[in-house]
Structure 1
Amino acid sequence: MSTRTFRITVRGSFDALTADQHAELLAAAPEHEVLRAAYTAEGHLAYDLGFGPFFTFRFLDSGEAEEDILDATARAELAAESRLGERGYGFKRLTSRAQDLSLAPLSKRQRQAAARGTA
């Protein structure tokens, strides 16, 4: 069996932040801006408090079978909850979406490279 790569996106919104927590998030905002977002094993947090109280975690995980995506999604949700909880950040409306990259369609550039045998 080959290893499958999963991208998991966990979204939600901050809830009932204290003034100190809000200031802390604003101070750390350059590290978490949306343009720097990436899928990582530890999960990358992105937010823009000027836009609203919304955040996104992006996780990268793997598994052997297609059904492993369910466990990967559960791990991502728990990791997001844990990281927010460690800081005491309230949150609500957590949702997640997962994608198995082995099932994703190839882009035009990837199809052309595969046709040339340089994939």
Structure 2
Amino acid sequence: MTTRTFRITVRGVFDGLSAEQRAELLAEAAQHDVLQAAFTAEGHLSYDLAARPAFTFRFLDGGEAEEDILDAVERAETAATDWLTGRGYGFKRLKAQGEDLSQVPLGKRQRREIARNTTP
């Protein structure tokens, strides 16, 4: 059986941050810049608090069957919630969405690369 790769995105909005929490997040903003965002097993947080209070966690997970994505989405949402509550950050409108990369259509460049590698 093949292993499927899942990308899970958990989005939400910071809510009710104290001045200290806001300052802490702003001080760490360079580590969480959206331009450095990546899907990782432990999850990568990105935000631009100076622009708006929204945040995004990106998780990479896997499974053997298509329905395993449901468990992966649940794990990602739990991990994001644990990270936020563990630091005392308030949040609202948490929404998780998963994508099975084996189901994503290939782009033009990917199709061309496959054709080039399989043609004798």
TM class by shorter chain equals: over 0.9
Q: Which position in structure 1 is the counterpart of 2:84?
A: 84
Deviations 1:11-47 (A, max 9, x none): 0000100110000000000000111100000000000
Q: Secondary structure at the match of 2:42?
A: coil
Q: Can you give the 5+ residue segments of structure 2 that lack an aligned partner in the other structure?
A: none
Distance 1:64 1:72 in 2: 11
How far apart are 1:116 and its partner, in Å? 1.2
User: Aligned AA for 1:23?
Assistant: A
Write out the 4+ residue segments of structure 1 that deviate beyond 4 Å after TM superposition: none
2:102 match: 102
Residues in 2 aligned to 1:86 and 1:36: alpha-carbon distance in whole angstroms: 23
Q: Which amino acid in 2 is paired with 1:74? A: E
Q: Give the Cα–Cα distance (whole angstroms) in 2 for the partners of residues 81 and 41 of structure 1.
A: 15
RMSD of aligned residue pairs (Cα, Å): 0.8
- Between the aligned partners of 2:47 and 2:92, the Cα distance in structure 1 is 15
User: Which residue of the partner structure matches residue 21 of structure 1?
Assistant: 21
1:66 aligned residue: 66
Deviations 1:57-93 (A, max 9, x none): 0000000000000000000000000000111000000
Cα distance in 1 for residues equivalent to 2:64 and 2:90? 34
Aligned residue pairs: how many?
118
- How much does 1:99 deviate? 0.4
Aligned counterpart, 1:57: 57
For the residue of structure 2 that corresponds to 1:35, the secondary structure is helix
TM-score for the superposition, normalised by structure 2: 0.96
Q: TM-score when scaled to structure 1?
A: 0.97
Q: Aligned partners of 2:8 and 2:51: how far apart in 1? A: 23
The residue type paired with residue 68 of structure 1 is D
Q: Which amino acid aligns with 1:25?
A: L
Q: Distance in 2 between matches of 1:24 and 1:50?
A: 12
Identity %: 68
Taking the aligned partners of 1:69 and 1:83, their CA distance within structure 2 comes to: 21
Aligned to 2:69, the other structure's residue is in SS state helix
